[in-house]
Amino acid sequence: MIFGAFDIGGTSIKYGILDEQGKLVYQSQTATSASEGGKRVLAQVKEIAQSLQVDYALEGIAVSTAGQVNNLEGTIVHATESIPGYTGVNVKKELEEALQLPVAVENDVNSAALGEYWRGAAQGIRHFLCMTLGTGIGGAIVMDGKVYTGASFSAGEFGHMTLYPDGKDCPCGDKGCYEMYASSQSLERRAKEYFGGGGSLRDLFVKAKNEKGTAEYVIDQWISGVALGIKTLVHIFNPPLIVIGGGVSEQGDYLLKKLRKSVNAQIMPSFQRTLQLKMAQNGNDANLQGAVYQLITAIRGGIP
């Protein structure tokens, strides 16, 4: 069995063909026509899927997407204006009607978590948290091998935990949200304050590893902020594992060692004994894999 999979973001639509073991046999991407609205973005997905059907005998379509998702109905519960008019779109219904195939739709961070559970850092661990550090901070809660979505399919908004009630203004309208201090974007802001513009986060990490000094100080201060949010999550959920994703996960052991040290310094000893922190293993592929995992589970009645 093979499946078409899509990962819809504000800037790009990544897509591919995966087999029932989660192996990618084809992969590509295109720019998202986000400025033209949610309906146009969905039309892009339809067009690509129809072209894939010409060459592949697809058994279904799996969609990972930005926004809060009702994964039972396949509807976008809420999306930001990065894709105008996306809120309320029934992705599942429209794709099933156009393609005559079963379709599963899931939030992008939830998909990443399921991808890591199926074929990545969380294999064999049925209860864990997944956190992605990017422009903001996304989260997913996996319990007994299933994503916990909450009453309104909005669970996992880790980035909007309030850490500092009188802190920095957040685009959500609140103050002092976690992602204002611990996202990759917040690290970029810190770096610019110290070094000016022009450099990438990769450059910052290279500088920290080779020269230490100010670059390492900037990273360590940021890691302390990341660890503060993790402390809160650990004390609430007591998870055996937290998987860290996003672009910074490519820093691997360098970042992981620093993060473990900072987290252990902040959490109670009883939590230290059971908590694992791991970097995500599958990068952007995890979103496609997790979406397919969700689809296969739906097709087979809960048996992946």
Residues 97 and 134 in one domain: no
Is 41 within 8 Å of 34 (Cβ atoms)? yes
- Tell me, yes or no, whether 204 lies in a domain: yes
Looking at the fold, whether 108 and 128 belong to one and the same domain comes out as no
In a domain, 117, yes or no: no
For residue 211, what pLDDT is reported?
A: 86
Q: Nearest 5°: phi and psi at 300?
A: -95, 10
The confidence score (pLDDT) of residue 159 equals 96
pLDDT at 304: 60
Residue 68 lies in a domain: yes
Residue 25, in any domain of the structure:
yes
CATH of the domain at 162: 3.30.420.40
Does 11 lie in the same domain as 105? yes
The CA–CA distances, whole Å, from 253 to 172, 248, 275, 278, 279 equal: 33, 11, 16, 9, 8
Residue 288 inside a domain? The answer is no
Residues 95, 155: one domain?
A: no
Domain span at residue 254 reads 124-279
251 and 216 share one domain: yes
Model-level pTM?
0.93
Q: Give the residues of the chain that fall short of pLDDT 70.
A: 302-304
Domain membership of residue 295 (yes or no) is: no
Number of neighbours of residue 112 by Cβ within 10 angstroms: 33
Domain count of the fold of the chain? 2
User: Same domain, yes or no, for 128 and 105?
Assistant: no
- 208 with 266, same domain? yes
Same domain as 164, residue 78: no
